Amino acid sequence: MAHTLLITGGAGFIGSTAVRAALARDDWRVVNIDKLTYSGNLESLAEVEEHPRYSFIQADIADPAAMRAAFEVFEPDAVMHLAAESHVDRSIDSPAPFLDTNVRGTFVLLEEARRYWQDLLAKNPKKGADFRFLHISTDEVFGDLADSDMDARFSETTPYAPSSPYSASKAASDHLVRAWQRTYGLPTLITNCSNNYGPRQFPEKLIPLTIINALAGRSLPVYGTGAQIRDWLHVEDHVRALMTVLARGRVGETYTVGGSNEQKNIDVVRAICGHLETLAPVKPKGVTRYEDLITFVTDRPGHDGRYAIDAGKIRRELGWQPRVAFDEGLRGTVAWYLENGPWWRNILDGTYRCERLGLGTRMEGK
């Protein structure tokens, strides 16, 4: 019999990758809970929407009744909690949704998971003992690393020092998960990952934004001088890590997950331009080189300088390591966006949101 995995935020970038990965295995049923805010896109799950082991619930994780019903109806063996507001710029402009989803939503989900798990222990001790709640977080909760020590890395013991409303809300959610494990015994696990990239990432993020803007001949905005350093992790490597932690991670433990691919933002943008020169040599009118579109813009407030992950613990204890080299993964990502224009064009023109409401492409009054 297949186990049931409840994934929150399964219509998002990482979540949809996790849904597809779990369904590719014969031993998982998947229940996807997603509120379908602006970044949730069911088109990312078109290939599995009729899968016999897949169910979708449109609901807010901050709705206790909806979460209780999901646990009672589907009786999951594990939860993979990915639902989150995650864009730093949006958190600076409007922090309230980040507190609502990342903090209150996590609290509600923990409470309903606890209620379900405690009942499960009484009714089916074996299944209760095997239940897991995996909370997926970010390396941004640690703040940034000093420029003077390029050997420094974030690890599971790094103190929290969030810089933005987004990272502060994720730090709060991490603390809640640890408290529910320590106080109530809820069998939780936490992962903190570095910057993800790959197919189906929402176009507001650096890599897809750069690709799409370049194809349109628009400017490629780079904050400050582009010297910020990020550790890039391919989304498929990340999801393999999540499945590994879910299967073999120790209850109550945290695992930092990174790709060992540190790159300056400006170098990432230039690398994308280089791949486009090869993969999309016919340029928009007036563009001689894609790199000529790079435009340096005013840095955002509180912008962290460098992130880097020490993934030694997950490598040693669980045998996971990244497989996708950055240049290979970046080229594949550029190729995917070139080959899947309808997916991102539907996001840019709003079609993906209208279709979920049965409105076609009409936007009157919106």
Catalytic (active-site) positions: 139-140, 166
Q: How many CA atoms lie within 13 A of 134 on its CB side?
A: 30
The stretches of the chain forming alpha helices (DSSP H) are 13-23, 64-74, 88-93, 96-98, 106-123, 125-130, 165-184, 206-216, 235-248, 265-279, 312-318, 326-339, 341-348, 351-356
- Token couple for 190: 């936490």
- Token couple for 156: 């599971």
- Token couple for 63: 């709705």
User: Of 40, 37, 54, 31, which Cα lies nearest the Cα of 11?
Assistant: 40
Q: Please enumerate in sequence order all residues whose Cβ is within 8 A of that of 225, keeping only pairs 6 or more positions apart, or say none.
A: 266, 296
Phi-psi region of 131 (alpha: psi -120 to 50; beta: other; left: phi over 0): beta
Q: Whole-angstrom Cα distance, residue 344 to residue 77? A: 34
β-strands 262-264, 229-234 pairing: antiparallel
Q: Please enumerate in sequence order all residues whose Cβ is within 8 A of that of 337, keeping only pairs 6 or more positions apart, or say none.
A: 199, 208, 211, 212, 215, 344
In angstroms, the Cα distances linking 231 to 27, 138, 142, 221 are 32, 12, 14, 20
- 4 and 76 Cβ atoms separated by less than 8 Å: yes
Helix (H) or strand (E) holding 137: strand 132-138
Q: Whole-angstrom Cα distance, residue 112 to residue 188? A: 14
Q: Which residue has the tokens 């779990």?
A: 22
